[in-house]
Structure formats: structure tokens, C-alpha cells
């Protein structure tokens, strides 16, 4: 269940994209051929094109009430050309986000259509593309050396969504190697040091269960404490468990978890 309502998710897509564009047209213009370490093989221009193409792809899904996925060639085949005006690229990026947000807001959260996971409503796409935009904004900020900050509500919902997607039974069916996540004593806790929030993950059974307040006995096998936004970046593998993170317990379980839960 989303902790942010539909209107806020839609508005967030626009706001986060405008912040992304700021990394392109800030006081010191970023070189568009700057490599993006967290997206190997991409430069900054390709990252922006990927985000903008994603916004337009989802807008097509919503406007056509698609019952199957439209072609996603533009999402995957990205021109590496950097001979483009920074302002033009930023304007293209923000205009696509604005159209997507308007389209999703007008559709409301309950429009039936194709989704990448069970659910089949427009609410999925509003949430997915808010957090898709957030994480790729982090990629841009990290690439150019800008600070990355995020409000707690959005960061917390991002962690909720990440765990919801990772714990879907289809994940284990689609990729049997993910069954390595399951095992005796495979429990994890992600605790925000700047918010009264923790996430508990239990992978001791035949599926992954999680909750912000999971009933348990004893401590988790591994507990990770860090500021909320840092936890979000960690689970998305935009950060490594360095000195920013207080890792207690079996650090190897955290490494196993991060290695087998990559997406986005």
C-alpha cells in the first residue's frame, strides 16, 4: 500500500525531474559526456534520455489504456551523443515529466491497464516512476558531484516500494538464483537514524516477508543503521556499506542481499 497519495506521487515526478534537470543546467554546466558510475556504460546525456524516454513510455501506456507493454526501444537504445544544448535537453526532460504527471493525475489511481507486476492500475506507474526518477536523479547528482537530499516521506515510500517489489513471489520464479536470499536466520533490519522508522525483512521461509514493524523474537541477523536517504541509496546499490553505515551482525548476509536484489 502506498504511503503517498496519488496526487503527491504525480507531483513528485515533476518535482524530482526538475531537480534532475538542475544537475544539467546548474551554475557550473556539467559535461554531458561525464560517465555515470552507478549506471555503467552511460554518460550523463544517456541517463537523461533514459529517464525522459521512460516518462514518455508510461504516458503512452496510460493514454492508450494499454493492455500489453508498448515497444521500449527508446528506453534501451540510448544515443551517446553529447552535442546537444544543456537547456534543450533539460527542457525536453522536464516537459515529458510534466505531461506524464498531468496524464496520471487526470487518470486517477484506479485506471485499469497493463502493469509490469500484478495490480494493473495507474497507481503502480505513478509510484514506480516517482522512485525511478528519484534514483536516477541520485545517479546524476553522484556523477557530477552534487549533493543529493530527499524528503523523508518520499525516501520511506521508496524503501517500502523496493521491498514490495523484491518480495514478490514472481521474483523467485523469474530468477531462481534469488532463492539464495532464503535461508535459516536470514533476517535483516534497516533502521533510519534520522527518523523513527525501521524495516524488518524475514527470508527464513519459502518467501520474503517484510514490515516496518515485523513481529519477531530477538535481533535480526544483520542490522544496518544510517540516515534514511542513505539506506535508500544502499538498497539500490548507489552506496556501499562503508563508514556511513553502522552494520551490526552478519555483514555477509547484507552483501548477499544486495548482490541478489538489484534493479532500477
Q: What is the pLDDT at residue 129? A: 98
Q: Among residues 200, 189, 193, 188, which one has the least CA distance to residue 226?
A: 193
What sign for the dihedral angle of Cα 126, 127, 132, 137? positive
Q: What is the pLDDT at residue 71? A: 87
Q: Which residues contact 106 (CB under 8 A, 6 or more apart)?
A: none
For residues 148 and 181, is the Cβ–Cβ distance under 8 A? no
Q: What is the pLDDT at residue 27? A: 57
CATH architecture of residue range(s) 6-148: Up-down Bundle (1.20)
Q: What is the pLDDT at residue 215? A: 55
For residues 235 and 190, is the Cβ–Cβ distance under 8 A? yes
Q: Among residues 51, 66, 202, which one has the least CA distance to residue 124?
A: 66
The model's pTM is 0.94
Q: What is the pLDDT at residue 3? A: 80
* pLDDT tens digits along 47-75: 999 999 999 999 999 999 999 999 887 77
What sign for the dihedral angle of Cα 179, 132, 136, 60? positive
The grid coordinates of residue 219 equal 535481533
C-alpha 56/C-alpha 58 separation (Å) is 5
C-alpha 162/C-alpha 181 separation (Å) is 15
Q: What is the pLDDT at residue 264? A: 55
Q: Which residues contact 169 (CB under 8 A, 6 or more apart)?
A: 207
User: In Å, what is the CA distance from 250 to each residue of 2, 237, 240, 258?
Assistant: 31, 18, 16, 13
Q: What is the pLDDT at residue 216? A: 57
Neighbours of 206 (CB within 10 A): 9
CATH of domain 169-259: 3.30.1050.10
pLDDT tens, N- to C-terminus, the chain (264 residues): 568 999 999 999 999 999 999 999 875 777 999 999 999 999 999 999 999 999 999 999 999 999 999 988 777 788 888 889 999 999 999 999 999 999 999 999 999 999 999 889 999 999 999 999 999 999 999 999 999 999 999 999 999 999 999 999 888 888 888 899 999 999 999 999 999 899 999 999 999 999 987 555 568 999 999 999 999 999 999 999 999 999 999 999 999 999 998 765
Length of the chain as a residue count: 264
Q: Which residues contact 238 (CB under 8 A, 6 or more apart)?
A: 38, 135, 138, 139, 142
Q: What is the pLDDT at residue 175? A: 85
- Same-fold call for 6-148 versus 169-259: no
The grid coordinates of residue 139 equal 545517479
Q: Among residues 115, 106, 195, which one has the least CA distance to residue 150?
A: 195
Neighbours of 197 (CB within 10 A): 17
C-alpha 190/C-alpha 56 separation (Å) is 34
Q: How is the chain split into domains, by residue range?
A: 6-148, 169-259
Amino acid at each position: 500500500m502506498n504511503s503517498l497519495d496519488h496526487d503527491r506521487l504525480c507531483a513528485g515526478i515533476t518535482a524530482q525531474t526538475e531537480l534532475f534537470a538542475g544537475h544539467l543546467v546548474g551554475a557550473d554546466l556539467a559535461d554531458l559526456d561525464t560517465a555515470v558510475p552507478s549506471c555503467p556504460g552511460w554518460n550523463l546525456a544517456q541517463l537523461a534520455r533514459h529517464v525522459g524516454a521512460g516518462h514518455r513510455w508510461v504516458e503512452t501506456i496510460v493514454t492508450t489504456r494499454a493492455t500489453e507493454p508498448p515497444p521500449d526501444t527508446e528506453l534501451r537504445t540510448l544515443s551517446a551523443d553529447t552535442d546537444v544544448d544543456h537547456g534543450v535537453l533539460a527542457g525536453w526532460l522536464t516537459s515529458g515529466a510534466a505531461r506524464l504527471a498531468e496524464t496520471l493525475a487526470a487518470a486517477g489511481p484506479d485506471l485499469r491497464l497493463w502493469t509490469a507486476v500484478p495490480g494493473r492500475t495507474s497507481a503502480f506507474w505513478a509510484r514506480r516512476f516517482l522512485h525511478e526518477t528519484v534514483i536516477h536523479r541520485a545517479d546524476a547528482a553522484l556523477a557530477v558531484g552534487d549533493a543529493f537530499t530527499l524528503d523523508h516521506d518520499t525516501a520511506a515510500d521508496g524503501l517500502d516500494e523496493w521491498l514490495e517489489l523484491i518480495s514478490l513471489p514472481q521474483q523467485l520464479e523469474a530468477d531462481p538464483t534469488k532463492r539464495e536470499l532464503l535461508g535459516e536466520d536470514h533476517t535483516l533490519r534497516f533502521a533510519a537514524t534520522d527518523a523513527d522508522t525501521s524495516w524488518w525483512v524475514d527470508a527464513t521461509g519459502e518467501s520474503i516477508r517484510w514490515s516496518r514493524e515485523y513481529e519477531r523474537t530477538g535481533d535480526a541477523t544483520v542490522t544496518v543503521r544510517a540516515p534514511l536517504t542513505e539506506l535508500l541509496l544502499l538498497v539500490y546499490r548507489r552506496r556501499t556499506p562503508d563508514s556511513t553505515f553502522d552494520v551490526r551482525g552478519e555483514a555477509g548476509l547484507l552483501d548477499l542481499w544486495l548482490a541478489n536484489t538489484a534493479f532500477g
